[in-house]
Structure 1
């Protein structure tokens, strides 16, 4: 499986495709786009206005990975469905947690 993660020395970059107004807050596995890049599919119940969907995504990821919200920042795609998140922490540990979520 292609991974949506890129490892740094003290962080991980995670590619996400977010669906706002998704009916529930959940992760729906990993999808490979036409460009060959993988991303974690996520959905949140909130609307995509004034950053509410991004905040809901950060909260969902924080709760799922059991890390503080402050460890997660949106580095690109603030207003787009495709986003890159920077997650501070041990990259190998974070990658294994994300892969467990993606395959659940």
Structure 2
């Protein structure tokens, strides 16, 4: 499954995944957007949200942007 997400680093609200007004997931993470820390925290938050292991979530596009596209390998979903 491919999902689009908007990452909010340095959030006191996180780790949390919500659905935004436009249907895009908003991922709140406490990690700063430095050296990939926010990306790693977003992967962990999405894995917990979808109930999959961290290795099942990978960043497809947007490594340096707040708007990102992830691939999530959900068993039984294509």
Q: What TM-score comes out, normalization by structure 2 length?
A: 0.87
Aligned to 1:81: 66
Aligned to 1:91: 77
Q: 2:19 aligns with which of 25, 29, 38?
A: 29
Unmatched 5+ residue regions in structure 2? none
Bigger Rg, which one: 1
Task: Give the CA deviation at 1:42.
Answer: 1.1
Choose between structure 1 and 2: higher helix proportion: 1
What's the Cα RMSD here? 1.4
Aligned to 1:101: none
Aligned to 1:68: 53
Task: Give the CA deviation at 1:48.
Answer: 0.4
Task: Give the CA deviation at 1:41.
Answer: 0.9
Task: Give the CA deviation at 1:91.
Answer: 2.6
Q: What TM-score comes out, normalization by structure 1 length?
A: 0.67
1:13 aligns with 2:2: yes
The runs of at least 4 consecutive aligned structure 1 residues that moved more than 6 Å come to none
- 8 Å CA contact 2:27, 2:45 repeated in 1: no
Task: Give the CA deviation at 1:53.
Answer: 0.4
Task: Give the CA deviation at 1:52.
Answer: 0.5
